[in-house]
């Protein structure tokens, strides 16, 4: 079996897992989103957060947005990731609500439109958030994460590898995206947990 440290093997596994989640029916996706959000609501990292980032799902990603009304009732400020212009594939996090002007980025994903001055004033770096809910392509039983391959979150969260205050990182995925084991790369930023529609997987206390 080809090692998952091999780039070709990683690409093949990404394709396989993306096909799996995209094969879910609309009803299965909707139920998975509701079950995911129920599991998320029980996490202390979610319950304590006053500033939280989530994402708008694409390409079969599990949908965390049913949490939006719950956050609103709890007066939690919600942020979305936005591609930083003139930077090396990293992210800002911009405040989001129902009336936020949106625009598609170069990947065709909707994000808050930072051409508006109000949106630029409402952007934060990752370290200023309490908790980030991040998408992933695959995960294992130690909460190791396989991302999309672009390194956007790893670059934006690289400061966390140096220690000091940092947000909680919660990966989310469909249960069918769990695999037996994933390699840990030097640039990987560890998650606190991965939450699926079926379970919560906590990270090992010590990451290798």
Decide if 207 is inside a domain: no
CB atoms within 10 A of CB 199: 13
145 annotated to a ligand binding site: yes
pLDDT at 102: 92
Give residue for tokens 């994460």.
145
Decide if 86 is inside a domain: yes
Tell me the per-residue pLDDT of 30-52, one tens digit each, with 9 for 90 and over.
999 999 999 999 999 999 999 99
Decide if 130 is inside a domain: yes
Decide if 2 is inside a domain: no
111 annotated to a ligand binding site: no
pLDDT at 86: 57
Decide if 137 is inside a domain: yes
- Phi first, then psi, for residue 94 (nearest 5°) are -120, 135
Contact present, 79 and 93 (Cβ < 8 Å): yes
Question: In sequence order, what are the residues at sequence separation of 6 or more whose Cβ sits closer than 8 angstroms to the Cβ of residue 29?
Answer: 60, 62, 63
pLDDT at 87: 63
The dihedral formed by the CA atoms of 68, 71, 72 and 77, expressed in degrees to the nearest 10: -100
48 annotated to a ligand binding site: no
- pLDDT beyond 50 at 85: yes
Decide if 40 is inside a domain: yes
- pLDDT beyond 70 at 205: no
In this structure, are strands 77-83 and 51-53 parallel, antiparallel, or unpaired? parallel
Decide if 143 is inside a domain: yes
14 annotated to a ligand binding site: yes
pLDDT at 88: 67
13 annotated to a ligand binding site: yes
Contact present, 21 and 62 (Cβ < 8 Å): yes
**How many separate domains does the chain show?**
1
Structure tokens at 106: 């170069």
**Rounded average pLDDT over 23-32:** 97
Distance between CA atoms of 84 and 92, rounded to whole angstroms?
A: 6
198 annotated to a ligand binding site: no
Domain carrying residue 90: 7-202
146 annotated to a ligand binding site: yes
SS3 201: strand
Distance between CA atoms of 47 and 41, rounded to whole angstroms?
A: 7
Read off the CATH number of the domain in which 14 is found. 3.40.50.10420
Tell me the per-residue pLDDT of 92-145, one tens digit each, with 9 for 90 and over.
899 998 889 999 998 889 999 888 776 677 889 899 999 999 999 999 999 999
DSSP 53: E
49 annotated to a ligand binding site: no
Cα dihedral sign for 184, 186, 192, 194? negative
CB atoms within 10 A of CB 115: 9
**23 or 9: which carries more pLDDT confidence?**
23
Decide if 1 is inside a domain: no
160 annotated to a ligand binding site: no
153 annotated to a ligand binding site: yes
202 annotated to a ligand binding site: no
151 annotated to a ligand binding site: yes
Distance between CA atoms of 136 and 57, rounded to whole angstroms?
A: 11
56 annotated to a ligand binding site: yes
């Amino acid at each position: 079996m080809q090692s998952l440290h091999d780039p070709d093997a990683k690409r093949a596994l990404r394709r396989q897992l993306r096909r799996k989640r995209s094969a879910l029916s609309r009803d299965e996706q909707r139920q998975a989103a509701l079950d995911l959000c129920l599991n998320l609501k029980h996490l202390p990292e979610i319950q304590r957060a006053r500033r939280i980032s989530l994402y708008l799902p694409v390409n079969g990603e599990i949908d965390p947005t049913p949490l939006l009304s719950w956050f609103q009732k709890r007066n939690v400020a919600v942020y979305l990731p936005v591609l930083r212009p003139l930077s090396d594939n990293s992210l800002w996090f911009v405040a989001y609500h129902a009336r936020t002007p949106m625009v598609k980025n170069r990947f065709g994903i909707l994000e808050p439109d930072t051409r508006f001055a109000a949106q630029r004033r409402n952007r934060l770096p990752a370290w200023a958030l309490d908790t980030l809910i991040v998408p992933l392509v695959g995960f294992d039983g130690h909460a190791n994460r396989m991302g999309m391959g672009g390194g956007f979150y790893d670059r934006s969260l690289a400061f966390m590898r140096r220690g000091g205050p940092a947000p909680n990182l919660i990966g989310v995925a469909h249960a069918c995206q769990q695999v037996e084991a994933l390699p840990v790369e030097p640039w990987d930023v560890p998650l606190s947990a991965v939450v699926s529609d079926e379970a919560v997987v906590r990270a090992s206390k010590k990451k290798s």
